[in-house]
């Protein structure tokens, strides 16, 4: 091709016969050839050579006629000229070389003709006879002037770039009077979406992909993708640098932002890093870190390593982003738990983030939301859980106002709501957490963002269980499976709360095998997930129900003590306290429950303790105060009332009414207090339990209350206990022991008192507790 191009151009200059290399391809596109050809293409692609080749092809007797259309001539003048030339030479071919802005449609409407544009004259790979035609084509785009320079023995990419610049500049001077085209040369690629997303810093309307293709600045690949040749890109960038050097960093930032808007954060970062545009990279990370977090936070490491240290030291906010995202592991974030006592008065980063977030909140936009999100994330990581909830209260209205006034990226909005929900959740402000999670779920679904949809559903399921709505939690866990299956990096992270919800649901059903299966999909020891306390408590409860309560309590206590600052989150403190108190009840080691007056769950546990050990008359107070705030707590309290007021020997409807309520909305775990009080036989006899449910209850520990020794029975009382096991009536007992029924009644009363039982059924259950 070196010979073909160089010799061809020289031949064209000396009226030689060598055709333009692209002419053969052009001629293949039509069967019948008109006499007139219109060329509108830039200099530097061999316009006159192509025109002479057209006119002189097939051994024509004359060389034809070439008409130059200059910018100062109108279309009517050219039509008259062409009419005369075609009439004077009825067998000759004619070529019109039009200037860049010529209205060629007027000419095409007046004559039978063919039109050749830039793409028709620029060389393709198979028209470049060189050792690396593909490389030369990627570099030059087939601009003849650049190809010829490169194939010259002394040619270099730099000399080819200089040769290309003049014809390219003259072409754009007419085609692009607003100088918008050179600005897009800083984009790394040129999909229609990227060009549509590109916003010129000066407000210019950017060219479309079709515009750039028509002007010969983009070229299609066989796979349908388009590219801008390197020398064209560099030449266009040179034009910007010569006209306005200060515009370059703004264009790099605009280019990175456009790429980020289309979801390709990795390329957006590479663009800024490649241009060493640190302010652009900083803004990109601060405003778009939500996209990185929800795709693959590991991609940030390249940017973090490239960022100058002096900028990191100067920018506390960016350090916070890097601290969060640099903790990315193979499939999830490995965030550190706080290791020092939280001291907000000495936390300079928290103060700086709050100051910046408050300032930006005065004019809410995406940047204000991003800073608010950074603030609550930092506060939680530093152990300031109550303050994080206060900051979340400020963030949600900022997000709402920003969304109403201008677009907020979908990922950022959904992530802000979810993390606001987490801040409320850990601060034990559960109603506010639900509102934020539901808003995050709505935004994620509107944006078709599977990662964030799964994250919101997962945490909503866990929160819903804490609110006592088990059936709703089951539906949320079912809904979670579809978006979670579509998540790549971070799947185990966003699915963690959903897995914990599965464990909890299984424990509500007293399905210990199901709970163990779900626990096996989690780390054996709770890791640094922000809801690690839920994991630890559920793990301890499952172990206790298996009969290993002492070890479970010791392990849960040790984990709390190992992570004191993280365990100090209000929700974590409450769950650990409730978990340890439940373990005490199940193992029979319960003592008086402090703080039950302010916690409905603890009030139920205190009521259970009083029913087992006394004083019985105090049970009513702990059953009535405080108000039970969720369905599970209310049903547990009702079950305890059954024990307090129901006489098994008299059908007063108390048990039947409770059974009706339980069948409507109960979980098997709601019956655990009655089991611990020895009422499982009555529940089985009531008919509300399936055989599997009854077996699950009966397989649970039935502990002897701590510190209570087995009562000493007289021989006659032991004999009556044996007759009770046989199901004998008082009359039958009197006949078998040769005593009166009144004597038997008195002796049974003594037996019941020693066993702290109010009926034969309860006496038999208590005798099993004491191994009598």
| Distances, alpha carbon 322 to alpha carbons 53, 62, 298, 301, 580, in Å | 61, 72, 11, 8, 38
User: How far is C-alpha 732 from the geometric centre of its chain's CA atoms?
Assistant: 72
Return all residues near 147 (Cβ < 8 A) that are at least 6 apart. 1, 5, 123, 128, 136, 140, 160
Q: What DSSP element (H or E) covers 578? A: helix 570-587
Residue-wise pLDDT for 395-437, tens only, equals 999 999 999 987 788 889 999 999 999 999 999 999 999 999 9
Reduced to 3 states (helix: H, G, I; strand: E, B; else coil), residue 430 is: helix
User: How far is C-alpha 323 from the geometric centre of its chain's CA atoms?
Assistant: 18
Per-residue confidence (pLDDT) for residue 405, from 0 to 100: 85
Residue-wise pLDDT for 576-602, tens only, equals 999 999 999 999 888 889 899 999 999
What's the token pair of residue 77? Answer: 């003048």
| CATH code of the region 715-769 | 1.10.10.10
Reduced to 3 states (helix: H, G, I; strand: E, B; else coil), residue 221 is: coil
DSSP assignment string, 702-716: -PPPTT-PPPPPPHH
More confident residue, 308 or 550: 550
List strands edge to edge, sheet with 65-68: 65-68, 94-97, 36-39, 113-116
Return all residues near 466 (Cβ < 8 A) that are at least 6 apart. 430, 571
Q: What is the Cα–Cα distance from 302 to 292, expressed in whole angstroms?
A: 12
User: In the structure, what pLDDT confidence band is assigned to residue 652 with cuts at 50, 70 and 90?
Assistant: low
Query: What are the beta bridge partners of residue 255?
Result: none
What's the token pair of residue 641? Answer: 């009332």
How many beta carbons lie within 10 A of that of residue 297, not counting itself?
21
User: In the structure, what pLDDT confidence band is assigned to residue 304 with cuts at 50, 70 and 90?
Assistant: low
Q: What DSSP element (H or E) covers 39? A: strand 36-39
Return all residues near 634 (Cβ < 8 A) that are at least 6 apart. 468, 628
Residue-wise pLDDT for 728-766, tens only, equals 888 989 988 888 988 988 888 888 888 888 888 888 777
Angle at 397 between CA 394 and CA 398, to 5 degrees: 80
More confident residue, 429 or 340: 429
Per-residue pLDDT averaged across 144-149, rounded? 96
Long-range own/partner contacts, residues 130-136 (CB < 8 A, 24 or more apart): 130/1, 130/2, 133/1
Per-residue confidence (pLDDT) for residue 707, from 0 to 100: 47
| Distances, alpha carbon 205 to alpha carbons 198, 257, 261, 271, in Å | 9, 16, 17, 22
Residues in the chain, how many? 772
User: In the structure, what pLDDT confidence band is assigned to residue 320 with cuts at 50, 70 and 90?
Assistant: low
Residue 38 main-chain phi, psi, to 5 deg:
-110, 125
| Distances, alpha carbon 697 to alpha carbons 300, 303, 328, 668, in Å | 51, 56, 43, 8
How many beta carbons lie within 10 A of that of residue 69, not counting itself?
22
- Residue 512 DSSP one-character state: H
Per-residue confidence (pLDDT) for residue 8, from 0 to 100: 39
DSSP assignment string, 121-153: HSPPGGG--SS-HHHHHHHHTT-HHHHHHHHST
Nearest to 484 by CA among 637, 331, 662: 331
Q: What is the Cα–Cα distance from 540 to 549, expressed in whole angstroms?
A: 8
What's the token pair of residue 675? Answer: 């089991």
Q: What is the Cα–Cα distance from 290 to 415, expressed in whole angstroms?
A: 7
User: In the structure, what pLDDT confidence band is assigned to residue 645 with cuts at 50, 70 and 90?
Assistant: low
Q: Which residue has the tokens 């191009």?
A: 5
How large a percentage of the chain has pLDDT more than 70? 88
State which of 249-253, 427-431, 697-701 shows the largest mean pLDDT.
427-431
Q: Domain ranges in the chain?
A: 2-126, 590-698, 715-769
Nearest to 423 by CA among 414, 409, 413, 436: 436
Reduced to 3 states (helix: H, G, I; strand: E, B; else coil), residue 94 is: strand
């Amino acid at each position: 091709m070196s010979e073909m191009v160089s010799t061809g151009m020289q031949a064209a200059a000396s009226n030689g016969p060598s055709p333009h290399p692209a002419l053969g391809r052009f001629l293949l596109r039509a069967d019948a050839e008109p006499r007139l050809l219109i060329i509108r293409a830039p200099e530097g692609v061999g316009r006159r050579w192509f025109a002479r080749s057209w006119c002189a092809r097939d051994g024509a007797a004359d060389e034809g006629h070439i008409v130059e259309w200059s910018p100062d001539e109108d279309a009517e003048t050219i039509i008259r000229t062409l009419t005369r030339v075609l009439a004077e030479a009825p067998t000759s071919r004619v070529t019109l070389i039009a200037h860049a802005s010529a209205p060629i449609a007027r000419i095409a409407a007046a004559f039978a003709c063919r039109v050749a544009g830039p793409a028709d004259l620029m060389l393709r790979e198979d028209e470049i006879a060189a050792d690396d035609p593909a490389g030369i084509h990627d570099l030059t785009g087939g601009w003849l002037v650049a190809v010829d320079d490169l194939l010259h023995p002394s040619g270099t990419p730099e000399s080819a770039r200089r040769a290309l610049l003049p014809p390219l500049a003259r072409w754009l001077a007419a085609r692009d009077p607003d100088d918008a085209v050179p600005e897009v040369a800083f984009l790394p690629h040129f999909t229609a979406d990227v060009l549509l997303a590109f916003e010129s810093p000066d407000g210019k309307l950017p060219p479309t992909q079709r515009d750039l293709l028509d002007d010969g600045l983009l070229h299609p690949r066989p796979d349908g993708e388009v590219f801008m040749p390197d020398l064209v890109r560099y030449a266009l960038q040179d034009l910007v640098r010569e006209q306005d050097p200060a515009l370059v960093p703004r264009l790099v930032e605009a280019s990175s932002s456009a790429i980020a808007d289309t979801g390709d954060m990795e390329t957006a970062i590479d663009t800024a890093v490649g241009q060493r545009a640190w302010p652009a990279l900083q803004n990109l990370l601060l405003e778009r870190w939500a996209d990185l977090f929800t795709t693959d936070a590991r991609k940030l490491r390249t940017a973090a390593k490239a960022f100058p240290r002096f900028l990191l030291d100067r920018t506390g906010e960016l350090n916070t982003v890097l601290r969060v995202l640099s903790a990315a592991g193979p499939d999830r974030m490995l965030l550190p738990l706080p290791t020092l006592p939280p001291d907000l008065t000495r936390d300079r980063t928290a103060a700086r983030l709050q100051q910046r977030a408050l300032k930006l909140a005065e004019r809410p936009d995406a940047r204000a939301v991003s800073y608010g999100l950074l603030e609550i994330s930092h506060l939680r990581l530093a152990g300031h859980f109550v303050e994080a909830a206060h900051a979340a209260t400020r963030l949600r209205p900022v997000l709402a106002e920003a969304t109403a006034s201008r677009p907020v990226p979908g990922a950022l909005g959904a992530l802000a709501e979810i993390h606001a929900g987490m801040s409320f959740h850990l601060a034990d402000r559960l109603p506010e957490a639900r509102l934020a999670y539901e808003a995050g779920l709505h935004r994620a679904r509107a944006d078709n963002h599977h990662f964030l949809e799964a994250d919101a559903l997962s945490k909503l399921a866990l929160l819903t269980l804490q609110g006592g709505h088990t059936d709703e939690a089951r539906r949320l866990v079912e809904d979670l499976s579809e978006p979670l299956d579509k998540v790549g990096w971070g799947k185990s992270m966003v699915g963690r709360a959903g897995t914990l919800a599965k464990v909890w649901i299984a424990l509500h059903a007293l399905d210990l095998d199901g709970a163990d299966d779900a626990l096996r999909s989690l780390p054996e020891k709770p890791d640094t997930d922000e809801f690690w306390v839920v994991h630890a408590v559920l793990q301890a409860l499952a172990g206790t129900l298996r009969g290993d309560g002492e070890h479970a309590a010791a392990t849960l206590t040790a984990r709390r003590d190992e992570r004191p600052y993280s365990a100090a989150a209000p929700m974590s403190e409450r769950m650990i306290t409730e978990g340890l108190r439940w373990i005490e009840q199940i193992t029979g080691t319960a003592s008086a429950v402090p703080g039950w007056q302010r916690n409905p769950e603890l009030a139920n546990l205190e009521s259970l303790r009083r029913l087992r050990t006394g004083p019985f008359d105090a049970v009513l107070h702990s059953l009535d105060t405080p108000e039970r705030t969720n369905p599970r707590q209310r049903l547990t309290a009702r079950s305890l009332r059954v024990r307090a007021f129901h006489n098994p020997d008299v059908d007063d409807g108390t048990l039947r009414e409770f059974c009706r309520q339980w069948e409507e909305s109960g979980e098997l775990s709601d019956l655990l207090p009655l089991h611990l009080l020895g009422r499982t036989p009555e529940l089985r006899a009531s008919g509300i339990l399936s055989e599997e449910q009854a077996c699950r209850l009966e397989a649970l520990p039935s502990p002897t209350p701590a510190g209570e020794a087995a009562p000493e029975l007289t021989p006659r009382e032991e004999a009556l206990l044996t007759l009770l096991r046989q199901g004998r009536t008082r009359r039958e007992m009197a006949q078998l022991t040769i005593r009166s029924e009144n004597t038997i009644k008195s002796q049974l009363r003594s037996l019941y008192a020693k066993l702290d039982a109010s009926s034969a059924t309860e006496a038999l259950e208590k005798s099993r507790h004491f191994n009598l």
